[in-house]
């Protein structure tokens, strides 16, 4: 069952990825999740970055679009990418409120406006935004970035080694600029989600587990949790009764989740 879920994710069109810290045998580990609306796969690893993703093995053979929150390790892989705009909305709100930079409000409102346009078009059975509308949105996007760069110029050289710190506003601007196609992927392709909330929801149970019972005492316990929780989440997504699914496992006639 776990292998079937794993293979389904490797061949899916769009997969959400995320990770969160978890303590196993007293040491910090990372719980990684890979998920779609129908499948969930968990794995824990001592590392957070590329070595963990390599060992888990989904991304190295994945050919679809990976949705994530801009953790650099994900960009090591040659698949297409889409960035979580829920994260961008929160960061833009912080720049507006804490740094008093109006461009952040304009960008936040533009992203929300585009999302509403995409949702409206999809509800009416339209499969893409009109090319002229795309051009207008792109022009507004670039104009807002220009205003942002004017409000957040490059930091002055300090004479010390290394690159000067850019600051949160400029770091966000650079990402929105350099990753524009991935930020706006949901606008170009209606099959791309606006955010990475699916993966975040799939990690929520880990946070609940940590609050209730704390860490795992052994790696075996962590692996068992990942296997069981992945099956439960998958079966629930596919409309199965969880208790009936678990009963089928103990009766040695397990319900196998859909993989296509």
For the whole model, what pTM was predicted?
0.90
CB contact set of 199 (below 8 Å; sequence gap of 6+):
16, 17, 18, 33, 34, 35, 67, 68
Average pLDDT over residues 135-152: 97
CA distance 44 to 226: 8
- The span from the CA of 34 to the CA of 32, in Å, is 7
Cβ(174)–Cβ(154) below 8 Å: no
Give which of 184, 180, 135, 175 is closest to 152, Cα–Cα: 175
Give me the domains of the chain, ranges plus CATH numbers: 2-82+197-250 (3.30.420), 85-188 (no CATH)
pLDDT tens-digit map of 92-109: 999 999 999 999 999 999
Token representation of residue 185: 């992927």
Beta strands at 27-35 and 40-45: parallel, antiparallel or unpaired = antiparallel
Residue 35's H or E segment, with its range, is strand 27-35
Non-local CB neighbours of 20 within 8 Å, separated by 6+ positions = 30, 31, 203, 206, 207
Q: What is the pLDDT of residue 151?
A: 94
Confidence of residue 46 (pLDDT cuts 50, 70, 90): very high
Q: Give the residue-averaged pLDDT of 31-53.
A: 95
pLDDT band at 238 (very low <50, low <70, confident <90, very high): very high
């Amino acid at each position: 069952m776990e292998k079937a879920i794993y293979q389904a994710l490797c061949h899916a069109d769009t997969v959400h990825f995320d990770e969160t810290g978890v303590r196993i045998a007293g040491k910090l580990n990372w719980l990684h999740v890979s998920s779609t609306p129908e499948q969930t796969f968990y794995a824990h690893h001592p590392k957070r970055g590329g070595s963990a993703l390599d060992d888990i093995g989904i991304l190295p053979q994945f050919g679809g679009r990976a949705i994530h929150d801009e953790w650099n390790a994900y960009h090591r892989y040659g698949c297409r990418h889409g960035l979580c705009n829920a994260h961008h909305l929160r960061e833009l709100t912080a720049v507006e409120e804490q740094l008093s930079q109006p461009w952040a409000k304009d960008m936040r409102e533009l992203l929300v406006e585009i999302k509403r346009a995409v949702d409206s078009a999809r509800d009416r059975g339209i499969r893409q935004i009109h090319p002229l509308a795309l051009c207008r949105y792109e022009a507004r996007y670039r104009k807002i970035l220009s205003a942002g760069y004017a409000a957040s110029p490059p930091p002055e050289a300090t004479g010390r080694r290394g690159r000067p710190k850019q600051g949160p506003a400029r770091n966000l601007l650079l990402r929105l600029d350099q990753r524009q196609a991935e930020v706006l992927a949901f606008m170009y392709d209606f099959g791309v989600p606006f955010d990475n909330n699916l993966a975040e929801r799939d990690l929520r149970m880990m946070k609940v587990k940590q609050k209730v019972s704390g860490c795992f005492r052994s790696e075996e316990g962590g692996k068992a949790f990942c296997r069981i929780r992945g099956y439960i989440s998958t079966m629930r997504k596919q409309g199965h009764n969880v208790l009936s699914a678990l009963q089928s496992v103990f009766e040695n006639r397990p319900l196998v989740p859909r993989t296509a």
